[in-house]
Amino acid sequence: MNLNIIILAAGNGKRMHSAIPKVMHKVGGKTMLEHVLICAKKLKPKTINVVINSSIEDIKKSFLKFNIDWHIQAEQNGTADAVKTVLPKLPKDEKVLILYADTPLINFLLLEKFMNYMPQSTVKVLTAELETPFGYGRIIREESEDEIVRMIVEESEADEKQKKVTECNTGIIFSDTTALEILIGEVQNNNSRKEYYLTDIVSIANKKNLLVVPLLAKEADLVLGVNDKLQLEKTEQIFQNSKRKNFLEQGVTMLDSSSVIFKGDVKIGTDVEIDANIIFEGNVILGDNVKIRSHTIIKDSTINNSTEIKPYSIVEDSVIGSNCKIGPFARIRPNCNLEENVGIGNFVEVKATTIKKNTKANHLTYLGDSEIGSDVNIGAGVITCNYDGVDKHKTIIKNNVFIGSDSQLIAPIVVEEGVTIAAGSTITDNSEKDSLLIARSRQQEKKNWKR
Ligand code: UD1
Ligand code: CA
């Protein structure tokens, strides 16, 4: 039967104390809503419906790659009201799964199991035993082994006895469109918050003798809701710990995995060593035998086999070839492409530059908008002067060039193959291959000079 997914994301998220919409806060570098959408998509639903409020319509543009039917909930009158904005637009007698955008760790295998559980029931509720149930709706069964949920009591409405119940509502509900529409139609807002609680459908269904069953998720971590920054941090840590565990199990060597942060999609080869205090962001690929030393950030980049990124280095939007040595204190800015066996040493900044194999720039250098050949030696303090105050210009350095220390190359410029540039030169003109260029003023000597 066709599956329709409704993701609730219209709440105000007041408890986050933030101008950013709650569902746009990130866990592991991705927004909470994106996590839920990725999971939803894996279930191959017929439709994905996201309920938002009109003040956050802007967020739509961040999710173009998902085929979403957006719905606006005019006023945030509660979760039942939010679902009601979608239901009449869905075909009758199809299945509907309700997810919350503030429950980002939810996993599709758990949801598949949940949807297949007890098919004869009218409503299914995914529940979890939580050590700190505060804030969650409590699951009320007649007796503990009762396989029927009699009602869900919200924290704000619960009496002392009900508050002691540790089985909580995850918010995730499965039913069919027609039954849900009837049940939601009867939800009232006569409660302390004057809201229409989706959870009230449980007692309404019971009154109609319709079967409401719970599935207790063993993996309580996967269904934690994020209402405030404390819960956001906790969720982030659960996410990070599970990534770390996966990589350790896969055979990655980490000196202190608790200090390695994975904010995005990271692929790691075999025999990779990762030291302490490292951040991976976006799409990162590490080949085999790569070594990432401490205090390093790698963002949206590929690091090929046997390359070492030494401490305190930053690599962004670039491809680093195999057997390279980068850093310590190196900065590889976006759009660099380094071939194999390249050396980029301390305090060297490289931007939008391609470097062919065996080339070295080991000390205090800026290489921007450049094409650099193979076997080039770039001395300490060399600068490509790529910017004239208005435009950026290109520097081309061909194979086997030797650039003496403290030289400046005024772009646009081409340094031909085999050229040697004397230290301290300011190179303004192109030259023939294999020449020696000396472009500095001659030393003067005034004898017996008195200060
Ligand atoms: C809700 C449940 C609670 C459950 C908990 C699980 C209700 C009444 N309570 O409580 O039983 O234990 O989630 O995390 O359902 N939203 C809307 N429109 C609204 C209100 C909320 O779209 O008018 C959305 C929010 O953006 C959020 C979700 O619904 O994604 C849940 O709302 P929230 O206010 O966070 O509910 P909780 O208090 O966490
Ligand atoms: Ca919540």
Residues with CB under 6 A from ligand 1: 8-11, 51, 73, 76-79, 81-82, 100-103, 136-137, 152, 154, 168-171, 197-199, 225, 227
Q: What residues sit around ligand 2, an ion, with C-beta below 5 angstroms?
A: 102, 225, 227
Catalytic status, residue 295: no
Q: In terms of residues, how long is the chain?
A: 451
Closest C-alpha residue for ligand 1 atom 12: 136
Ligand nearest to the CA of 135: 1
Number of Cβ within 10 Å of residue 446's Cβ equals 6
Q: In terms of C-beta density within 10 A (0-12 exposed, 13-18 middle, 19 or more buried), how is residue 222 classed?
A: buried
pTM as predicted = 0.94
User: Please, what sign has the CA dihedral across residues 127, 132, 138, 144?
Assistant: positive
Query: From the CA of 71, which ligand is nearest?
Result: 1
Give me 426's structure tokens: 């300011």
Walk along the chain (451 residues) and give the pLDDT tens digit of each residue: 899 999 999 998 999 999 999 999 999 999 999 999 999 999 999 999 999 999 999 999 999 999 999 999 999 999 999 999 999 999 999 999 999 999 999 999 999 999 999 999 999 999 999 999 999 999 999 876 789 999 999 999 999 999 999 999 999 999 999 999 999 999 999 999 999 999 999 999 999 999 999 999 999 999 999 999 999 999 999 999 999 999 999 999 999 999 999 999 999 999 999 999 999 999 999 999 999 999 999 999 999 999 999 999 999 999 999 999 999 999 999 999 999 999 999 999 999 999 999 999 999 999 999 999 999 999 999 999 999 999 999 999 999 999 999 999 999 999 999 999 999 999 999 999 999 999 999 999 999 999 9
155 C-alpha vs ligand 1 centroid, how far in Å?
A: 12
Residue 346 CA to its chain's centroid (Å): 29
Q: For residue 228, which phi and psi values (nearest 5 degrees)?
A: -145, 180
Taken in order of first residue, the domains within the chain and their CATH numbers are 3-223 (3.90.550.10), 246-437 (2.160.10.10)
Contacts 24+ apart (CB under 8 A), 21-26: 21/52, 21/56, 21/59, 22/101, 22/102, 22/226, 23/56, 23/59, 23/101, 23/102, 24/56, 24/59, 24/62, 25/226, 25/232, 26/263
Q: How far is the CA of 2 from the centre of ligand 1 (A)?
A: 25
